[in-house]
């Protein structure tokens, strides 16, 4: 029994922190200035070891859709129906979401999302959620940097994946852009830490008895 507990603890420990700290900038799939590329289905973008799986489609863009932060970013819309973007590590395992940059996107002030709903799927079960409110400062037919940085707390430290859904557009579309997705090693929940501590104590106690 103790051996099984020890092996379980080691397996659990191995699943924690499997994602390395990184800022996903989409520059590994960069496109030219003023260009955007369409992605759907099997061509959903992969950047920084993470899959960006849109239920409909997405765009990899640079100085397009009325927003520009000097580099490449990903644009999502639901003009063809509700478009939920699911973000997860290709290799699986748990990770932490620290921050993300989001901008309104589209040359019409009626079509861009006013808010983005975020749902985190916790590693091992359960969810955490929040709604991010965009400042709605996009000016029609003006190209500018409208990205805002949103930070996430400890509740987002042990995810298997998370989803983004645009909402609040005055007319269908809910266009928004994301960039600089800051992810890192998972931070286990207190209950998980307790289990790890119990397993470590068990292994230590057994090792001491064996040494005698």
DSSP 184-210: EE----HHHHHHHHHHHHHHHHHHHHH
Helices (H) and strands (E) in the chain, counts: 2, 13
Cα angle 91-158-156, degrees, rounded to a multiple of 5: 120
Task: Quick: pLDDT tens for 131-154.
Answer: 999 999 999 999 999 999 999 999
Same-domain check for residues 58 and 125: yes
* Token digits of residue 198: 């119990």
Same-domain check for residues 116 and 174: yes
Same-domain check for residues 56 and 158: yes
Same-domain check for residues 100 and 201: no
Answer whether 0.95 is exceeded by the pTM.
no
Torsion sign (Cα): 183, 189, 192, 193: positive
**Structural domain tally of the chain?**
2
- Position 210 scores a pLDDT of 54
Contacts of 196 (CB under 8 A, 6+ apart): 9, 12, 13, 188
What DSSP assignment string belongs to 86-148? EEEETT---EEEEEEEEEE--SSTTTB-SEEEEEEEETTS-EEEEEEEP-----TT--B---E
Same-domain check for residues 33 and 80: yes
The boundaries of the domain holding residue 204 are 1-16+190-212
Closest by Cα among 78, 45, 76 to 58: 76
How large is the angle between the packed helices 190-211 and 2-15, nearest 10 degrees? 130
Same-domain check for residues 195 and 130: no
Q: How confident is the model at residue 188 (pLDDT cuts 50, 70, 90)?
A: confident
Q: How confident is the model at residue 117 (pLDDT cuts 50, 70, 90)?
A: very high
Closest by Cα among 193, 183, 192 to 161: 183
Same-domain check for residues 173 and 95: yes
Same-domain check for residues 121 and 72: yes
Same-domain check for residues 3 and 34: no
Taking CA atoms, 184 is separated from 48, 129, 157, 158, in Å, by 11, 19, 8, 10
193 pLDDT above the threshold of 60: no
As a whole number of angstroms, the distance between CA 190 and CA 69 comes to: 38
Contact 186, 158 (CB under 8 A): yes
Same-domain check for residues 76 and 41: yes
Neighbour count for residue 101 (Cβ, 10 Å): 19
Same-domain check for residues 7 and 70: no
Same-domain check for residues 8 and 92: no
The CATH number assigned to the domain holding 41 equals 2.60.120.1350
Task: Quick: pLDDT tens for 50-97.
Answer: 999 999 999 999 999 999 999 999 999 998 888 999 999 999 999 999
């Amino acid at each position: 029994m103790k051996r099984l507990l020890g092996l379980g603890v080691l397996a659990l420990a191995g699943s924690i922190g499997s994602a390395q700290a990184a800022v996903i900038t989409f520059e590994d799939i960069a496109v030219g200035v003023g260009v955007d590329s369409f992605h759907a289905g099997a061509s959903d973008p992969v950047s920084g070891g993470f899959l960006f799986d849109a239920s409909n489609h997405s765009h990899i863009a640079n100085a397009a859709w009325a927003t520009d932060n000097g580099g490449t970013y990903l644009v999502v819309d639901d003009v063809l129906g509700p478009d939920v973007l699911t973000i997860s590590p290709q290799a699986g395992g748990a990770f932490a979401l620290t921050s993300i940059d989001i901008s309104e996107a589209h040359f019409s002030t009626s079509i861009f999302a006013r808010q983005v709903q975020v749902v985190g799927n916790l590693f091992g079960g359960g969810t955490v959620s929040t709604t991010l409110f965009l400042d709605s400062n996009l000016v029609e037919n003006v190209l500018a940097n409208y990205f805002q940085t949103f930070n996430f707390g400890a509740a987002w430290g042990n995810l298997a994946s998370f989803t983004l859904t645009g909402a609040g557009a005055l007319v269908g579309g809910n266009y928004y852009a994301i960039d600089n997705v800051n992810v890192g090693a998972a931070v286990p929940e207190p209950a998980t830490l307790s289990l790890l501590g119990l397993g470590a104590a068990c292994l230590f106690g057994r090792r001491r008895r064996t040494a005698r």
